[in-house]
Amino acid sequence: MKTILLALTILASFTFNPALRAEDGWISLFNGKDLAGWKSNDEAPGVFSVENGELKVSGGRAHLFYVGADGAAKFKNFELKAKVKTTPGSNSGIYIHTEFQEKGWPAKGYECQVNATHSDNKKTGGLYAVQDVLNNAPNKDNEWFDYSIKVEGKRITISIDGKVTVDWTEPEGWDPATALKNMPGRKLSEGTIALQGHDPKSTTFYKDIFIKLLP
């Protein structure tokens, strides 16, 4: 009986703990059922929801931060992958090396842009205001595409559907307060992941969000 109970305990841990179910080092950040492990700043209430196994972002400016089971998730070197779908006129983003913030655009870290047809000419796959993809987006609205972000040391690589759109290394002595207008926190350090709700007319979807920690 003790052997059976031990086996059931081990099986349960692999079933319910995403970290233990990681394949080849990939850890799931979104379970497809609810927002467990995530925290919204609710600047605009109700922006983030789960529908049909997808994380829906719609209804105004707000940000959803991955905090993990202990509420203190932080990553330094990693590779992040997700499936993303934009809709006509939508605007969103994936923040890296950021931290929870009650309101406003996240001040810490970098934003990886998600935008196919919004009026902003900075399009999907760009490192916002640092190395932008201008005017011509590499994705189409209403179609799922693969978004990959890799951070290794001072190097940030973004790929859309396997094609590199950004390969940028933060310069030695980088001072974002001088290099960028009104973005003094755009600097690599460590931090978490956040998803952006941009404006009331914007609707974007995410699913299959995984992270792999790198040395």
pLDDT over 60 at 3, yes or no = no
| DSSP 8-state symbol, 138 | S
Query: Looking at residue 12, what is its pLDDT?
Result: 37
Query: Looking at residue 181, what is its pLDDT?
Result: 86
d(CA 10, CA 75): 27
Render pLDDT for 148-178 as a digit per residue (tens, 0 to 9): 999 999 999 999 999 999 999 999 999 999 9
Whether 101 is in a domain gets the answer yes
Whether 165 is in a domain gets the answer yes
Residues 147/141, Cβ–Cβ less than 8 Å = no
Percent of all residues in the chain with a pLDDT value above 90, rounded to a whole number:
88
Residue of 201 and 19 predicted with greater confidence: 201
Cα–Cα distance list, 14 to 11, 23, 25 (Å): 5, 11, 14
Render pLDDT for 4-26 as a digit per residue (tens, 0 to 9): 443 333 333 333 344 444 668 99
Query: Looking at residue 23, what is its pLDDT?
Result: 66
Render pLDDT for 110-157 as a digit per residue (tens, 0 to 9): 999 999 999 999 999 999 999 999 999 999 999 999 999 999 999 999
Burial of 55 (0-12, 13-18, 19+ CB in 10 A): buried
Render pLDDT for 176-187 as a digit per residue (tens, 0 to 9): 999 998 899 999
Percent of all residues in the chain with a pLDDT value above 70, rounded to a whole number:
89
d(CA 31, CA 54): 9
H or E segment and range at residue 147: strand 145-152
Q: Which two tokens stand for residue 16?
A: 């319910």
| DSSP 8-state symbol, 152 | E
CATH number at residue 152: 2.60.120.560
Q: What count of Cα atoms within 13 Å lies in the side-chain half-sphere of residue 137?
A: 25
Query: Looking at residue 22, what is its pLDDT?
Result: 62
pLDDT bucket at 102, cuts 50 / 70 / 90? very high
Whether 9 is in a domain gets the answer no
Enclosing domain of residue 127: 24-213
For residue 7, count other CB atoms closer than 10 A to its CB: 10
Whether 173 is in a domain gets the answer yes
Whether 158 is in a domain gets the answer yes
Q: How far is CA 145 from the centre of its chain?
A: 14
Whether 5 is in a domain gets the answer no
Residues 88/185, Cβ–Cβ less than 8 Å = no
Number of domains in the chain: 1
Q: Which two tokens stand for residue 178?
A: 């001088």
